[in-house]
Homo-oligomer: A and B are copies of this chain.
Amino acid sequence: MERITARYFIETPYAVEKAAQVLAGEQSSGTFVAVPGETEELKERFAARVEAITPVATVTTPAIPGATSETGTYHQAYVEVSWSIENFGYNLPTMVSTLQGNLYEITQFTGLKLMDLEVPRSFADHFRGPQFGIEGCRRLTDVQNRPLIGTIIKPSIGMTPAQTADLVKTLAEAGIDFIKDDELLSASANSPFEARVDTIMRVINDHADRTGKKVMYAFNLSDEIDSMLRRYEKIVASGGTCAMISLNSVGLAGVKKICDQGQLAIHGHRNGWGMLNRHPLLGIEFPAYQKLWRLAGVDQIHVNGIQNKFWESDDSVVRSIQAGLQPFLGGYSILPVVSSGQWGGQAPETYRRTQTTDLLYMAGGGIMAHPDGPAGGVAALRDAWEAAVEGLSVEEAAKRSPVFAKSVAKFGKKK
Give the Cβ gap from A413 to chain B, nearest Cβ, in Å. 13
Task: Tell whether, in the assembled complex, residue A159 and residue B42 are in contact, meaning their CB atoms are under 8 Å apart.
Answer: yes
A276 to B182, CA, bound (A): 24
Confirm or deny: A81 has a beta carbon within 8 angstroms of a beta carbon on chain B.
no
Known A-B contacts A105-B310, A184-B101; the reply to A364 vs B31 at CB < 8 A is yes
Q: Identify the closest chain B residue to A225 (Cβ).
A: B257
Known A-B contacts A87-B157, A228-B253, A254-B225; the reply to A246 vs B93 at CB < 8 A is yes
Task: Tell whether, in the assembled complex, residue B246 and residue A255 are in contact, meaning their CB atoms are under 8 Å apart.
Answer: no
Confirm or deny: A326 has a beta carbon within 8 angstroms of a beta carbon on chain B.
no
Task: Tell whether, in the assembled complex, residue A274 and residue B35 are in contact, meaning their CB atoms are under 8 Å apart.
Answer: no
Known A-B contacts A88-B188, A369-B33; the reply to A158 vs B46 at CB < 8 A is yes
Confirm or deny: A190 has a beta carbon within 8 angstroms of a beta carbon on chain B.
yes
Q: Identify the closest chain B residue to A192 (Cβ).
A: B89
Task: Tell whether, in the assembled complex, residue A37 and residue B87 are in contact, meaning their CB atoms are under 8 Å apart.
Answer: no
- Interface size, chain A (Cβ < 8 Å): 99
Q: Identify the closest chain B residue to A340 (Cβ).
A: B105
A284 to B189, CA, bound (A): 28
Give the Cβ gap from A364 to chain B, nearest Cβ, in Å. 6
Task: Tell whether, in the assembled complex, residue B275 and residue A222 are in contact, meaning their CB atoms are under 8 Å apart.
Answer: no
One of A22-30, A52-60, A198-206, A382-390 at the interface: A22-30
Give the Cβ gap from A199 to chain B, nearest Cβ, in Å. 15
Task: Tell whether, in the assembled complex, residue A155 and residue B275 are in contact, meaning their CB atoms are under 8 Å apart.
Answer: no
Task: Tell whether, in the assembled complex, residue B107 and residue A311 are in contact, meaning their CB atoms are under 8 Å apart.
Answer: yes
Q: Identify the closest chain B residue to A246 (Cβ).
A: B97
Task: Tell whether, in the assembled complex, residue A33 and residue B364 are in contact, meaning their CB atoms are under 8 Å apart.
Answer: yes
Give the Cβ gap from A190 to chain B, nearest Cβ, in Å. 7
**Most chain B CB neighbours (cut-off 10 Å) among A33, A105, A310:** A105
Sample 23 A-B pairs with CB under 8 A, ordered by A number: A27-B184, A30-B155, A30-B184, A31-B156, A31-B364, A37-B154, A37-B159, A46-B188, A66-B311, A89-B187, A94-B184, A94-B222, A94-B246, A94-B249, A96-B246, A100-B272, A100-B275, A101-B183, A102-B272, A105-B310, A223-B253, A225-B256, A275-B282
Q: Which residues of A contact B (CB under 8 A)?
A: 27-33, 35-38, 42-43, 45-46, 64-67, 84-89, 91-94, 96-98, 100-107, 152, 154-159, 163, 167, 182-190, 220, 222-228, 246, 248-257, 269, 271-276, 278-280, 282-284, 304, 309-312, 364-365, 368-369
Not counting A65-B311, A88-B184, a sample of 16 additional A-B residue pairs whose C-beta atoms are within 8 angstroms of each other reads: A37-B155, A42-B159, A67-B311, A86-B189, A91-B224, A94-B183, A96-B246, A100-B275, A104-B273, A104-B274, A105-B278, A106-B311, A225-B225, A250-B253, A251-B253, A254-B257
Listed from nearest, the 7 A-B pairs whose CB atoms lie closest are A251-B251, A104-B274, A253-B254, A30-B156, A101-B271, A86-B189, A33-B365
